[in-house]
């Protein structure tokens, strides 16, 4: 399978390392991944015969100017070359998530799909804003769109809903969908760190988004919850339809006081359909020891679905971080390959 990587930041780099580390496992699947393009905001590199992974990984350890990569047979390239040459089976799109207009990811994804190239993306913006249109485009062009990384990285969430709850009507989605805020709350409770220090630690661990305000304000949780709601509950909601409260509304004293009562705050996203309609919210909630979410700690996340015919399903885990996020992209890729891509 010939691939192009678009957006070579933390997740992109982790993905290349993972493909290298897992090459024997991939080969045993019959999957031979041939990397032809890597593109970032300033340009990129292209090798029609395939880029030497280790050589490229070593080069980019010290140099972010991909145009200047001198690997044998490699030349400078841009995203347009991927579209014009049409010599890859799959584009893996990992540029920053923009929730207002979805760019540059939205154009990358639509142009690749329109050219009959499969796409896997980690980018929440285009999926939040245009999932239905992109799916239609994929269908019209006989290709697939993988979005497993957009709703909690390694946590099986949107794919579990699509695959394992197929045929049921989902009436409720609840979750802790942001590892950074969950990690911060735990650091406040267990290590007595104030909010700023806990955030700094999350950044040192590389789990916070490039702009951590998205994690803290509940916007990241809201985005993931909306994608799940729109994709799995057949809705077409926007961020304006959500009540959004972040963890910045809680201080260390409150966390300590509640810990004394065996309760803890969790940032919970919730979409619930009742006879009155659908309510969608993201806010810190107090949970006690009996609640399933009480022990979802550290970088972990959780999603809980209630459906009419397949019952009540809770999935816990999916630690945050660039390697687990990259692994969730590889998971989509392997599953597409198994389905015959
Ligand atoms: N980090 C995580 O754990 C995680 C988990 C799940 C999903 N995600 C999503 O995955 C995506 C990537 O995350 P990340 O942490 O790897 O981000 P990042 O470190 O900020 O990297 C983003 C990359 O995109 C490149 N880029 C920006 N504009 C571009 C353009 N117009 N054309 C081509 N490339 C462009 C950047 O180029 P430069 O290097 O030149 O700046 C950089 O290489 C984001 O959408 C994020 O929301 C991340």
Give per-residue pLDDT as tens, 130-182.
999 999 999 999 999 999 999 999 999 999 999 999 999 999 999 999 999 99
Catalytically active residues, by annotation: 224
- DSSP states along 171-208: EEEEEE--HHHHHHHHHHHHH---HHHHHHHHHHTT-S
Query: What pLDDT score does 299 carry?
Result: 85
Residue 49, number of CB atoms within 10 A of its CB: 10
Distance 245 CA to ligand 1 centre (A): 26
Asked if omega into 331 is within 30° of 0 (cis), the reply is no
Closest atom of ligand 1 to 64 CA is 39
| Most informative mutation of 18, 95, 129, 183 for ligand 1 (most atoms within 8 A of CB) | 95
Confidence of residue 341 (pLDDT cuts 50, 70, 90): confident
Q: Whose CA is nearest to atom 10 of ligand 1?
A: 122
* pLDDT at residue 259 tops 80: yes
Is 287 in a helix, a strand, or coil? strand
* Range name among 32-36, 77-81, 325-329, 337-341 with the lowest pLDDT average: 337-341
* pLDDT at residue 209 tops 80: no
Distance 321 CA to ligand 1 centre (A): 13
* pLDDT at residue 210 tops 90: no
Q: What is the pLDDT of residues 63-112, one digit of tens each?
A: 889 999 999 999 999 999 999 999 999 999 999 999 999 999 999 999 99
Q: In the sheet where 263-274 sits, what is the strand order?
A: 243-244, 277-288, 263-274, 170-176, 301-307, 311-317
Query: What pLDDT score does 235 carry?
Result: 96
| Most informative mutation of 4, 5, 11, 321 for ligand 1 (most atoms within 8 A of CB) | 11
Closest atom of ligand 1 to 13 CA is 16
Q: Which range scores top for mean pLDDT: 62-76, 201-215, 222-236?
A: 222-236
Confidence of residue 205 (pLDDT cuts 50, 70, 90): confident
Mean pLDDT (whole number) for 274-284: 95
Query: What pLDDT score does 64 carry?
Result: 85
Contact 175, 304 (CB under 8 A): yes
DSSP state for residue 165 in the 8-state scheme: T
Question: Three-state secondary structure along 125-140?
Answer: HHHHHHHHHHHHHHHH
* pLDDT at residue 257 tops 90: yes
How far from the centroid of its chain's Cα atoms is residue 321's Cα?
10
- Integer-rounded Cα radius of gyration of the chain: 20
pTM across the whole model: 0.96
| Ligand 1 cavity residues, CB under 6 Å | 6-12, 39-42, 64, 94-97, 104, 122-124, 149, 153, 210, 320-322, 325
Question: Three-state secondary structure along 289-319?
Answer: CCCCCCCCCCCCEEEEEEECCCEEEEEEECC
* pLDDT at residue 322 tops 80: yes
């Amino acid at each position: 399978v010939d691939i192009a990587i678009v957006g070579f930041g933390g997740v992109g780099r982790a993905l290349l390392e993972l493909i290298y580390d897992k090459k024997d496992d991939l080969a045993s699947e019959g999957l031979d991944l041939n990397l032809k393009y890597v593109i970032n905001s300033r340009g990129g590199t292209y090798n029609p015969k395939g880029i030497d992974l280790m050589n490229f990984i070593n080069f980019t350890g010290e140099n972010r100017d991909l145009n200047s990569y001198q690997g044998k047979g490699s030349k400078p390239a841009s995203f347009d070359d991927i579209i014009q040459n049409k010599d890859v089976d799959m584009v893996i799109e990992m540029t920053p998530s923009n929730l207002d207009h979805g760019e540059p990811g939205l154009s990358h994804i639509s142009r690749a799909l329109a050219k009959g190239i499969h796409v896997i993306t980690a980018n929440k913006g285009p999926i939040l804003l245009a999932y239905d249109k992109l799916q239609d485009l994929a269908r019209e062009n006989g290709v697939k769109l993988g979005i497993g990384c957009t709703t909690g990285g390694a946590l099986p969430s949107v794919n579990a809903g699509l695959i394992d709850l197929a045929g049921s009507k989902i009436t409720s989605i609840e979750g802790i969908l942001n590892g950074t805020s969950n990690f911060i709350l735990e650091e406040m409770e267990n290590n007595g760190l104030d909010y700023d220090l806990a955030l700094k630690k999350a950044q040192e661990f590389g789990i916070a988004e490039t702009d951590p305000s998205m994690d803290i304000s509940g916007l990241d949780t809201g985005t993931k919850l909306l994608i799940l709601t729109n994709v799995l509950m057949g809705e077409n909601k926007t961020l304006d339809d959500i009540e959004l409260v972040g963890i910045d509304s809680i201080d260390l004293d409150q966390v300590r006081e509640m810990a004394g009562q065996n309760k803890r705050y969790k940032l919970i996203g919730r979409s619930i359909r009742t006879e009155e309609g659908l309510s969608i919210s993201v806010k810190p909630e107090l949970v006690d020891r009996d609640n399933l979410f009480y022990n979802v700690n550290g970088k972990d996340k959780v999603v809980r679905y209630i459906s009419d015919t397949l019952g009540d399903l809770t999935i816990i885990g999916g630690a945050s971080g660039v390697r687990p996020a990259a692994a969730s992209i590889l998971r989509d890729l392997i599953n597409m390959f198994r389905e015959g891509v």
